[in-house]
A and B are shown apart, each in its own frame.
Chain A
Amino acid sequence: MTDATLAEGPARPQSALRRLLRRKLAILGMAIIAIVTLGAIFAPWIAPFAPQDQMFDGLTLEGAPMPPGEKFWLGTDLLGRDLFSRILYGARTSLIIGVVANGLALIIGTLIGVTAGYFRGWIGAVLMRFTDLMMAFPALLLAICLAAIFTPSLWIVAMVIALVNWVQTARVVYTETSALAEREFVAAEKTLGAGTARILFRHILPHLVPMIIVWGTLGISTTVLLEATLSYLGVGVQPPTPSWGNIIFENQTYFQAAPWLVFIPGAAILLLALSFNLVGDALRDVLDPTQRGRE
């Protein structure tokens, strides 16, 4: 819903990075993302236990989980598995899906947006009406239906999320591209007989890059949240693969007796989504000051 006015050309990368580094919140966000990423990569070395290991001493005799303590730093879940180890490995799920699903969504969105915005005519009309149609879907219901059709695995969940999330990108890219396509330098190139490919790759896409970076970063936050929600509803990644959402799904019956089982993974989701939002917002200010407002 932004009134996108024209970007004044891409900002110079170095100065953008320098300006980004002057923002405290952005640095905080990047630091958290870095920590989570390192945790995910080095999980096998950091985690005290294997994430799927159901330990005999991980449950009381009545079948209740262990509270945080010396052996299990963050306690255990309802199957007697170490929560800290599962959170670490769960970061992999969140990051992989965040990056892959959002990457796919960006590619789809950009392709559709650029095609519709540059070629206009009936192709553009059809594509944009289709985008409107997708906007009208209750996104979560659509994702649940898609997840029920394709048995969810890590990659299927990523694909489902991409299929639901490309719409916003497509709309923004469309607005931007159609504005660019009308500008004089593009018209000039056309009269000079430049090919479509040349115009797209030399003039249109470079102008879109800052916006795509911004959307790409903000979109990861949305993706992380959607994955968590799907897993929370039991239609996300399959057990025993840990995901922060399905840790909450599996343990929420105990949320009164063992709140840490719900609120520790909950905090992890929040922190990661928050970090990408902080970085994305800062990037928007730095790269593309005209892009303001929501979505």
Chain B
Amino acid sequence: MSLMKNILATSALSLSLGLASLASAQDYQPDPNAKPGGNIIVTYKDDVATLDPAIGYDWQNWSMIKSVFDGLMDYVPGTTELRPGLAESYEISDDGTTFTFKLRQGVKFHNGREMTAEDVKYSLDRVTTPATQSPGAGFFGSIKGYDAMADGSATSLEGVTVVDPYTVKIELSRPDATFLHVMALNFASVVPKEAVDEYGTDFGKHPVGTGAFKLADWTIGQQLVLQKNADYWRSGVPYLDSITFEVGQEPIVALLRLQKGEVDVPGDGIPPAKFNEVMGNPDEAKQVVVGGQLHTGYITLNVEMAPFDKVEVRQAINMAINKDRIVQMINGRATPATQPLPPSMPGYTKDYAGYPFDPAKAKEMLAEAGLPDGFETELYVMNTDPNPRIAQAIQQDLAAIGVKADIKALAQANVIEAGGTPKTAPMIWSGGMAWIADFPDPSNFYGPILGCAGAVEGGWNWSWYCNKDLDAMATEADSITDPAKQDERLQKWSDVYMKVMEDAPWVPVFNENRYTMKSTRMGGADALYVDPVSIPVNYDYVYVTE
């Protein structure tokens, strides 16, 4: 029964729904019916790797870290709207390169010490220093002095200054419209130096933060218990006394236990084989909350390898894939995609229909490109279900226009290696590896996966598509930091992705939807159960009714 997990989305976090707009930010109104107390049980198949906010980048630990730690910025629960977190307020200079954060006073770490500006600086230094080996270090690239940290010539970020114990000033080396989102990432969480020093590399197993919950017990490979932080600085929350995460539980087991009332939230979702059954039963369907997800599943076409160096060939491939059939194969849990951005992402181009499914036209275009008999190629794919199946559906579609694609189903690490090695993988199906947004901003889908910066050895731009003009446009868009010019910025991003579609280095295949199932005793707004930031559930705000 292994591999039953909903692997469409692993090893990453995801965000969903809602348009981020700073101007309209309105904080969450706590539920008047909420009752404090109680324990819930959440299950996962895979072990929790770490709770170190600088390291954790998995599908399960992302939301746990969110509940144990806080950053300067945060999101309104259930939305993608930014709100201040540990920062009480912030100011942005006119040129958009200096951010001054005023910290809340009296916020205490789980060890009892008060959090100050020194901790903010320490935490940013820690996450960017190469010794920490944080997978999120690159997000802080716009902070002044980042490069010196990355190459090891500095031990502290030049751009981060402690003005007084409750004020931090962060200077950027270039305007970065996404910076506040970056400060809301787990990687920007504030950690106490003394606890990191005490546990060293094992800090991830002994986390100390300022969050709504603290770690109470951790039996590796079995369970992890988070306990309410009674001194939490946001008043009234969390409602739950504790949360028990049980790991090593198959999704199917978790679902059966939920039906018996033993589990409150199966963290890996509803297993495919049970999906139709659950959704067909009105009582059980009521327990399911459906939401969008900032996810796109795509095929990369390596523009450095013949015949994908010809744009006609790439366009033909785009027209050959029967996306509806692939969506049917995964029980309709996704929507066919037209472009790199998912529909709920700001900057999504609504009136763009994408390439039509038209095998006859595709065959014609191949003939015009001098390949009337098609060609042979390879399709790389991660070897966990359902990805090899999706690859076989793609393979059949390609065969219909005369393209013979051999499938290479490999371990995740081997596919990533092949993708980042020049002229190795002509086509890659992205399922199981990428791309789920880190934060709800269109720039997040460009840089590493479509921009020139990622089209290098070891990079994540597996189509090796590098368009200098688009890179310039992207930089231009991200230097528009004025909230009043948001629409102009989003339009620029929309243009970038439309140009990408003309050059067709990708075949966008589908955008996944999210289905969270919960026990009948769980309370709180539906939005908390498809929270774009805390997956599967925003633990700080949900409650139990009995």
B279 to chain A, nearest CB (A): 9
Cross-interface CB contact of B331 among A54, A62, A235, A249, cutoff 8 Å: A62
Q: How far is the CA of A158 from the CA of B1 in the complex (A)?
A: 26
User: Chain B CB within 10 Å — which of A235, A239, A258 has the most?
Assistant: A239
Are B1 and A151 neighbours in the complex by a CB distance under 8 Å?
no
Nearest CB in chain B: distance from A238 CB, A: 5
Given A63-B329, A252-B3, check contact A234 B395 (CB 8 Å).
no
Q: Are B410 and A256 in contact (CB under 8 A)?
A: no
A238 contacts B407, CB within 8 Å?
yes
Residues of B within 8 A of A79 (CB): 329, 389, 392-393
How many whole Å from A246's CB to the nearest CB in chain B?
A: 8
B420 contacts the other chain (CB 8 A): no
> Roughly how many angstroms separate A256 CA and B330 CA in the complex, as a whole number?
17
| Bound CA span A99–B414, Å | 29
Per a CB cutoff under 8 Å, which of A52, A151, A239, A254 touches B388? A239
Interface residue? B402 (CB, 8 A)? no
Complex alpha-carbon distance, A52 and B330, angstroms = 18
Query: Do residues B392 and A239 form an inter-chain contact, with CB atoms below 8 A?
Result: yes
A238 touches B272 (CB 8 A): no
> Is B482 interfacial (CB-CB < 8 Å)?
no
Q: Which 9 A-B pairs have CB atoms at the shortest separation, nearest pair first? A: A234-B383, A254-B273, A63-B328, A63-B331, A62-B276, A253-B273, A257-B273, A239-B388, A253-B4
Q: Which residues of A contact B388 (CB under 8 A)?
A: 234, 239, 250
Contact of B407 with A239 in the complex, beta carbons under 8 Å: yes
What mask results when residues 39 to 62 of chain A are scored 1 for a CB within 8 Å of chain B, else 0?
A: 000000000000010100001011
Bound CA–CA A175/B328 (angstroms) = 59
Q: Complex Cα distance A148/B415, Å?
A: 11
Write out the residue numbers on chain B whose beta carbons fall within 8 Å of the beta carbon of A54.
Answer: 392-393, 396
Q: What chain B residues lie within 8 Å of A62 (beta carbons)?
A: 276, 328, 331-332
**A64 contacts B by Cβ under 8 Å:** yes
Q: Can you name 4 extra interface pairs (CB under 8 A) apart from A61-B328, A63-B332, A250-B389?
A: A79-B392, A151-B410, A252-B3, A253-B272
Contact with A along B132-173 (1 / 0, CB 8 A): 000000000000000000000000000000000000000000
Q: Max chain B CB contacts within 10 Å: which of A148, A234, A254, A257?
A: A234
Contact A256 B328 (CB under 8 A): no
Interface status of A279 (Cβ within 8 A of chain B): no
Tell me whether A257 and B277 are in contact (CB under 8 A).
Answer: yes
Hey, what's the 0/1 contact readout for B361-399 against A, CB within 8 Å counting as 1? Answer: 000000000000000000000011110110111011000
Highest count of chain B CB atoms <10 Å: which of A54, A63, A255 = A63
The residues of A that contact B406 with a CB separation of less than 8 Å are 238
Is A240 close to B, CB under 8 A?
Answer: yes
* Contact status B273-A240, CB under 8 Å: no
In the complex, what's the smallest C-beta–C-beta distance from A205 to chain B, in angstroms? 41
Within 396-423 of B, Cβ neighbours of A (below 8 Å) are at 396, 406-411, 414
CB atoms of B272 and A254 under 8 A apart: yes
A-B contact pairs, 13 of them (CB 8 A): A52-B392, A59-B328, A62-B331, A62-B332, A63-B328, A63-B329, A151-B408, A151-B414, A234-B385, A235-B411, A238-B409, A254-B273, A256-B252
B164 to chain A, nearest CB (A): 54
| B271 is an interface residue with CB less than 8 A from chain A | yes
Asked whether any CB of chain B lies closer than 8 Å to the CB of A78, the reply is yes
| Interface size range of chain B in the complex | 20 to 34
**A residues within 8 A CB of B391?**
239
DSSP majority for the A interface? loop
1/0 contact trace for B455-481 toward A, CB 8 Å?
Answer: 000000000000000000000000000
| Per-residue contact bits, chain A 163-185, to B (CB 8 Å; 1 contact, 0 not) | 00000000000000000000000
Please give, as numbers and ranges, the residues of chain B lying within 8 Å of A256 by CB-CB distance.
252, 273-274
B residues whose Cβ falls under 8 Å from a Cβ of A: 1, 3-4, 252, 271-274, 276-277, 328-332, 383-386, 388-389, 391-393, 395-396, 406-411, 414
Q: How far is the CB of A265 from chain B (nearest CB, A)?
A: 15
Q: What chain A residues lie within 8 Å of B395 (beta carbons)? A: 240
Is there contact, CB below 8 Å, between B273 and A249? no
Q: Is the CB of A255 within 8 A of B1?
A: yes
Q: Is A252 within 8 A of B4, CB to CB?
A: yes
Docked complex Cα distance between A249 and B409 (Å): 13
Q: Which of A59, A240, A257, A258 contacts B329 (CB 8 A)?
A: A59
CB distance from A250 to the nearest CB of B (A): 6
A78 contact from B252, B389, B408, Cβ within 8 A? B389
- Nearest Cβ distance between residue B23 and chain A, in whole angstroms? 42
Q: Which residue of A lies closest to B395 (CB)?
A: A240
Asked if B409 and A240 make an inter-chain contact with CB atoms under 8 angstroms apart, the answer reads no
Question: Which of chain B's residues have a CB closer than 8 A to the CB of A250?
Answer: 385, 388-389
Determine which residue in B4, B388, B395 has the highest number of CB atoms from chain A within 10 A of its CB, and name it: B388
| Contact residues, A122-160 vs B (CB, 8 A) | 148, 151
Residues of A within 8 A of B385 (CB): 234, 249-250, 252-253
Of chain B, the residue at the smallest CB distance from A60 is: B276
**Are B409 and A234 in contact (CB-based, < 8 A)?**
yes
* In the complex, chain B residues whose CB is within 8 Å of the CB of A252: 1, 3-4, 385
- Please state if A64 and B4 are interface contacts (CB–CB under 8 Å): no
Please give, as numbers and ranges, the residues of chain B lying within 8 Å of A253 by CB-CB distance: 3-4, 271-273, 385-386
Write out the residue numbers on chain A whose beta carbons fall within 8 Å of the beta carbon of B329: 59, 63, 78-79
Closest CB-CB distance, A171 to chain B, in whole Å? Answer: 32
Contact assessment for A240 and B410 in the assembled complex, using a CB-CB cutoff below 8 Å: no
Contact with B along A187-219 (1 / 0, CB 8 A): 000000000000000000000000000000000
C-alpha gap A216/B427 in the complex (Å): 41
A257 to B275, CA, bound (A): 11
Q: Is the CB of B273 within 8 A of A63?
A: no
Known: A59-B329, A252-B3, A255-B273. A148 touches B411 (CB 8 A): yes
